[in-house]
Structure 1
Amino acid sequence: MAVLGCAQEYRAVIHWRGGSLPFTSPGVSALTAVSWNRTLSDTSEASITIAKGSAGAECCAQLGKVEPFAHDLSIYRDSELVWQGPVFRVTENRTRFVVEARDVTEWLARTVNTTLLRYVSTNPADPKRQGPVQEIAESIIRENLLGGLFASGPDWPRMVDYIVRQDDTVTARYEKDGSLDNEIWIVPILRILDEELVPRGLEYTTVGRALVLGRPQTTADPAQARLTLDAFAGDVEIVRDGTNAASLVWVTNQEDQDISGSQYGVSGVVSAYYGRLDYLIRTTAEGLTAYDLWQIARGSYTGRNPVPTSLRIPDGAGLAATAPVSMRQLVPGVRIDVAATGMCMGLSQPYRLSDVDVDWGDNGENVGVSLIPLGDPFVGDPP
């Protein structure tokens, strides 16, 4: 059985961009603090703090040459690479040197799209065709990083070989190419993912250097771990909150004043238990079809029915070293089941892991997690 355990040591290596060629590595004794996280559909960050007095003159001289985006920070928990990404800030004072970095999705935030976003073809031989939203996301990333306009070299961040996909079963149709179907949307790649593809059902995260393009897990997916309250060091809070609950999710491009020519998409099933419980999303995006709006509604339905029950872990609490889950299994988006016996709510239900927050220092290691509700698989048909 997998067990989280307690890290014996943390080690940090500064690599040249790409994460394979080492530049410098402060000694373990000089490393006084490490923090890193993993997060769902957002950019994670990490930092290391180095005591200059313990680092030595040679290491200090090398640290003084660390350049944002020319170097990557790699963090190892014992011998396992747990985090890697480009350095974005270095700070020095009289006694310490701090290196801060963001995961590899920062390259997508700093690379502007230069390709035509038109995925409407139904021809299987067409490289730009309708397909799972995860496939479309990978296509956009690859086309920009491997041969996009102004590329400094094929895959200069060294990302495309580390893309992992878990495709949805629904075919997505996506275009953002102007009224003449030939305009290029000049925005960062990450904005395309966040504003256009995440609402359609894409989830992304990073583990080490890997970029995971996935889908929301449901009760039909297997659990990576099953935890009881004994797996948590500290208190927990169970919150059943109906604020975002819904049996039907509506998405419309209708404006408040001018309602002509508008469309809508709806997803869900009216529940005999809750009755009709609507949740409305308005979008100002242009050129959306009824199918596009349905896709957004479907992507927004997960975790709203039944009424979501969240498990909150207050700051300072975290997983116990005896928790039956390994660090490799703590990937944002995966299903983790929790049974909270002895509580009035009698909680025993599946969750999705949304965040992992790790701090290591003089007091040892603390591994915090955040869990969000998991929904049933959607079985409705598109319009």
Structure 2
Amino acid sequence: MPAGCSSHTAQIIDRDGAVVAVADVLLDVEWSRVLDDVSTARVLVAPDADCCAALSRVRSWRHKLAIYRDTQPVWEGPITAPEWTADGVQVSAVDILGWVDRRTPHNDQTFVDRELAEIAEWLIDDAFQPDDPGHSVQIIGPSRIRGDRAYQADVGQSGDHLRDLAATGIDFTVLGQQILILPEDHYARVGSLTDDDFASELVVAEDGLALATRWVIHGKDGVRGEAGGVHPYYGLIERVAEESSILDDASAEAAARSRLAASSPAPVFLDSQEAVLAPDSSVDVPALVPGWCVDVTTTQTCRDIAQSLKIAMVKVHEDADGERVSLQLTPAGV
């Protein structure tokens, strides 16, 4: 179904799998998918008498929100903020990584010369091990970066540890109950976009403040790694970061290379506030998954783009005016 031409429904589902309420009449719905972070969703329901009684029983973290686009499941996660008003019920939720942000490592664990994707998988599975509301992990491909990491029980939030790994060589995103782990150089394509696929004028932006030609990463107890140096075009622009979970120089060097790849040359992207798809765009919206790429060709501005860009965020919003699909697209690297 073209972007801008679909409608949504939603369900409230209990931890035991029972359907608490079916929200067929939605006044407003918004859901997103995000790379390397937790996504959110929100629905505003106009309930009838029976639905109103069911929605009165909705509770944060006990129940989850499931959203369907033309009957196809596109988003789900635990409810964090139900609001009841005279005009309707608004339900806000986070995806299942919201659970990982509310968990801590449950076991002491040390990894030596281990693939980063496997460490990420352990962090997620350990977070859910004592109480699993339903999840699975799929490693789309190895990061091809190995390193040492150590985690202590009850020290730090598991979600923060996962984001630290994402800064050193992996990506992750969520589809329903499935958490996908990808290498940062995952460049599989899910479609292409031209000027005709966008609803309004685009803003092509270069993020000069993100530019760096040399990165230095400091790990634990004197561990250090670096990548880059004086660039023949840009000169020398240096950045330093601390990653206390890194235990060996090789991992620190890999983390520095990962950051350098994302910051040199200066990232060029489509402004996320303006990259709205045209209602008749033939893009397969459910296939737009962060971490995958789309080929973009645009000549609307003085800075032409004809390159593959990585999907960093997808946001879908439907109200009385129809459906609006917007994308945040970032450099895919080389």
SS in 2 for 1:328: helix
Per the normalisation by structure 1, the TM-score is 0.80
- Equivalence for 2:120: 137
SS in 2 for 1:296: helix
| TM-aligned CA deviation for residue 35 of structure 1 | 0.9
1:47 pairs with 2:42: yes
| TM-aligned CA deviation for residue 44 of structure 1 | 0.9
| TM-aligned CA deviation for residue 276 of structure 1 | 4.6
Query: For the residues of structure 2 that align with 1:323 and 1:279, how far apart are their CA atoms?
Result: 41
C-alpha contact (below 8 Å) 2:217/2:243 kept by paired residues: no
C-alpha contact (below 8 Å) 2:202/2:300 kept by paired residues: no
Matched to 2:199, the amino acid is A
1:236 pairs with 2:219: no
C-alpha contact (below 8 Å) 2:219/2:246 kept by paired residues: no
- Equivalence for 2:227: 267
SS in 1 for 2:142: coil
Query: For the residues of structure 1 that align with 2:118 and 2:291, how far apart are their CA atoms?
Result: 18
Query: For the residues of structure 2 that align with 1:31 and 1:287, how far apart are their CA atoms?
Result: 47
* Deviation per residue, 1:65-107 (Å, 9 max, x gap): 1111111100000111110000111111112111111100011
SS in 2 for 1:357: strand
| Percent identical residues | 25
C-alpha contact (below 8 Å) 2:203/2:301 kept by paired residues: no
- Equivalence for 1:282: 241
Query: For the residues of structure 2 that align with 1:264 and 1:314, how far apart are their CA atoms?
Result: 38
Query: For the residues of structure 2 that align with 1:21 and 1:292, how far apart are their CA atoms?
Result: 45
* Deviation per residue, 1:339-383 (Å, 9 max, x gap): 11253222212211111111111000001111111212xxxxxxx
| TM-aligned CA deviation for residue 6 of structure 1 | 3.3
| TM-aligned CA deviation for residue 296 of structure 1 | 1.7
Matched to 1:132, the amino acid is E
Per the normalisation by structure 2, the TM-score is 0.91
- Equivalence for 1:6: 4
Please provide the CA RMSD for this pair: 2.4
Query: For the residues of structure 2 that align with 1:163 and 1:251, how far apart are their CA atoms?
Result: 28
Query: For the residues of structure 1 that align with 2:291 and 2:302, how far apart are their CA atoms?
Result: 27
Structure 1 pair 103–323 and aligned structure 2 pair: CA distance change class (3 A): same
1:305 pairs with 2:303: no
Matched to 2:211, the amino acid is A
- Equivalence for 1:38: 33
Query: For the residues of structure 2 that align with 1:371 and 1:96, how far apart are their CA atoms?
Result: 34
SS in 1 for 2:316: strand
1:192 pairs with 2:166: no
Matched to 2:227, the amino acid is S
* Deviation per residue, 1:101-142 (Å, 9 max, x gap): 11000110112211123111xxxxxxxxx4321111112222
SS in 2 for 1:321: coil
Unaligned runs of 5+ in 1: 121-129, 178-182, 255-260, 377-383
Structure 1 pair 268–351 and aligned structure 2 pair: CA distance change class (3 A): farther
Counterpart of 1:364 (choices 319, 322, 325) is: 322
* Deviation per residue, 1:134-178 (Å, 9 max, x gap): 1111122223423xxxx24xxx2111xx3221233424223225x
| TM-aligned CA deviation for residue 5 of structure 1 | 3.6
1:329 pairs with 2:321: no
Query: For the residues of structure 2 that align with 1:323 and 1:56, how far apart are their CA atoms?
Result: 35
Larger Rg: 1
Matched to 1:4, the amino acid is P
Structure 1 pair 314–5 and aligned structure 2 pair: CA distance change class (3 A): closer
| TM-aligned CA deviation for residue 48 of structure 1 | 0.9
C-alpha contact (below 8 Å) 2:82/2:90 kept by paired residues: yes
How many residue pairs get aligned? The number is 334
Query: For the residues of structure 2 that align with 1:136 and 1:11, how far apart are their CA atoms?
Result: 37
| TM-aligned CA deviation for residue 23 of structure 1 | 1.9
Counting only pairs closer than 5 Å after superposition, residues 23-102 of structure 1 correspond to structure 2 as 23-26=20-23, 28=24, 30-51=25-46, 55-102=47-94
Query: For the residues of structure 1 that align with 2:219 and 2:109, how far apart are their CA atoms?
Result: 21
- Equivalence for 1:157: 133
| TM-aligned CA deviation for residue 246 of structure 1 | 3.2
- Equivalence for 1:248: 214
C-alpha contact (below 8 Å) 1:235/1:313 kept by paired residues: no
C-alpha contact (below 8 Å) 1:225/1:324 kept by paired residues: no
1:203 pairs with 2:181: no
- Equivalence for 1:257: none
Structure 1 pair 94–208 and aligned structure 2 pair: CA distance change class (3 A): same
Counterpart of 1:223 (choices 184, 189, 201) is: 189
Instruction: Judging by fraction of residues, say which structure has more strand.
Output: 2
